[in-house]
Every structure is written in structure tokens, then in C-alpha cells.
Amino acid sequence: MSELPIGLFDSGVGGLTVMKEIAALMPHENLIYLGDTARVPYGTKSPDAIQQFSIENANFLFSQNVKLIVIACHTASAHALNIVQASLPIPILGVTTPGCTSLLAETQTNRVAILATASTIASKIFDKLLKSQRPNIELYPVACPLFVPLVEEGLQDHESTLLLAEHYLGHLRAKQIDAALLACTHYPLLRCSIQRTLPGVALIEPAKACARTVQQFLQEHNLLNTNNKSPQYQFFASDDPAKFAVGAKKFFPSSVATVFSLESCSQILLPSRQLCEGRNRNDSEETHFAH
């Protein structure tokens, strides 16, 4: 058993969908979440940048004494899982593999779509992961760059969102797919528009599968926290903790009294070794969220 917290990071608030499923499945775990809101979005950035940002984020969580890190962002998982695993002496899990497991369990026709950011699609990670398990699978990967800003603007149900879903996905109706992986943490919020564009197609959200993978890993390694009656949830944002808190409270209404700021945006941007030198608690100042 380990009482150390689980760490999660994402480019923004999207990864909170994963944190929520982990909290639901493992209610005794302490959790620390970092949203890299100073550099959001990742989905349009280069592999080099995403790898560097991911290492810096993971090093920050490592400095907070976490027992395991979940990369709760598909773009970062696609490009940086291996490199982060190689750089730190604690287990690192991503969201791409659990998503693939769910998708393969769902499809009957072996004709599936992957909806993701431009950078995730460009990584070809899903081709690799899915074809290694099911060589005859037919993949239709689609980058949908406007989906994230549409969600962030709260325009999920606007007429333009349906038009843009048709723009990105309309051609898939001729492909006889039976399942589509929503491989970006924002996309489940567009489920309604996506489903109207792809009627009859099963839309797969990886957050629950990711939480089960984390639970299984902790069980197998005797790291589950089983006796903790008052789990602590901590939130950090690299920019604008007050704005982050507004988003986070939608997922954790009773837990987000406070979001910690990184003292300045550059704190997590320091060379990795500087954040790795000690494993002492970070001395960032608390930023109280005005209710």
C-alpha cells in the first residue's frame, strides 16, 4: 500500500475527465493535477515541443512525491509517453492504450475512426497500437482542430458546431465504420453533434478504461491506497489559477476551493534537472479562488 498521491497532467482542464473517473473508481487515493494552461493547446504543436512540455510537467509532479503519473492528454501520450517513462524512476501511464482496448472490444466490423488533434493523428500512434493487436483493422483517422476551441467557447450546441462536425466527419458515413474513438479529452463534450453526424456509430471515451488500467497497475504492484478516509485533491495550473478553478469546479464541485499557481509560468519551464534535484514539496504560493 502507498499513501503517496497519483499525479496527472494535461494541457488544460480536459484531463479532469480522467481524474474524475480515477476518483470514482479509487476513492481512497490522493490526487494531484497539473493543467499546463500557459502553453495550451498541445494539439497544434510539434512533437519536440510536446515532449519537452511533457517532461517538464512530469518532473513537476515527480517533485510533489507522486507514486505514479497519468498523462491525461492524448496528444502528450501519443508523442511523449516513452520519453517520459525513460526519464523518471516511477511508473508513467497514458490514455492511448486504454482507449485502444475499449475500441477493439467494441468494434464488430473492424472498421473504426479515430478522432483527435492534428498532432495526435500525425503521430500515427493508433495505427501502431491497433494494428499490432488486430492486423486486419481498417482505420480512418481524422484531425478535428476546431473541436477544442468550440468546446472552450461553450458552443457545443451551436449550429456552426454541427456544420463543422459535418465538415470533418461527414465523409466517414460512407466508410461503414461501427465505432469511433474520441481520442481527445474535450471531444466527449461534443458527443451530441458527433453522434448526429455519425448515427449508429459507437463513440468510445477512454477515461473509464484509463482509470481501470491505473487501478489494475496499482493492485498488481501493491500500491493501492485502501484506508484513506479523507483523500486530498490538489490542483496546479501554469497560468490563471482562478480561471482554471472555474473549469475544475464543474468536475469536482466540493473539492476545488483552491488552485495553486506555479509561482511564475517559467517555474515548470526550468530545465528538468532543476525540478528533479529534490523531492521536497513545492513551495508555490497558494492562490485562493474567489467564489
Contact mark string toward a copy of itself, 52..71, x via CB under 8 A: xx--x---------------
Q: Does 26 bind a copy of itself (CB under 8 A)?
A: no
Q: Does 269 bind a copy of itself (CB under 8 A)?
A: yes
From 240, 274, 222, select the one nearest 55 (Cα to Cα).
Answer: 274
Rule CB under 8 A: choose which of 15, 22, 45, 103 binds a copy of itself.
Answer: 45
Q: Does 38 bind a copy of itself (CB under 8 A)?
A: yes
Question: Residue 190 has what DSSP assignment?
Answer: G
From 4, 13, 24, select the one nearest 211 (Cα to Cα).
Answer: 24
Q: Which residues contact 115 (CB under 8 A, 6 or more apart)?
A: 142, 144, 147, 168, 169, 180, 181, 182, 183, 184, 187, 194
Rule CB under 8 A: choose which of 124, 264, 286, 288 binds a copy of itself.
Answer: 264
Q: Are 214 and 26 in contact (CB under 8 A)?
A: yes
- Respond yes or no: is residue 73 known to be catalytic: yes
Rule CB under 8 A: choose which of 91, 145, 188, 231 binds a copy of itself.
Answer: 145
Residue 34 cell numbers, joined? 497539473
Q: Does 186 bind a copy of itself (CB under 8 A)?
A: no
Q: Does 163 bind a copy of itself (CB under 8 A)?
A: yes
Binding residues for a copy of itself, total number by CB under 8 A: 34
Alpha-carbon span 169 to 187, nearest angstrom: 13
Q: Does 192 bind a copy of itself (CB under 8 A)?
A: no
Q: Does 231 bind a copy of itself (CB under 8 A)?
A: no
**Residue 165 CB coordination number (10 Å):** 23
- Respond yes or no: is residue 265 known to be catalytic: no
Alpha-carbon span 73 to 18, nearest angstrom: 9
CB of 12 to a copy of itself, least distance (A): 10
Which residues pair with residue 168 across a beta bridge? Answer: none
Q: Does 46 bind a copy of itself (CB under 8 A)?
A: yes
- Interior angle at CA 140, CA 46 and CA 184, nearest 5: 50
CB of 207 to a copy of itself, least distance (A): 24
Contact residues toward a copy of itself (CB under 8 A) are 37-40, 44-46, 48-49, 52-53, 56, 145-146, 149-150, 152-153, 155, 158-160, 163-164, 167, 239-240, 243, 264-266, 269-271
Q: Which residues are catalytic?
A: 73, 184
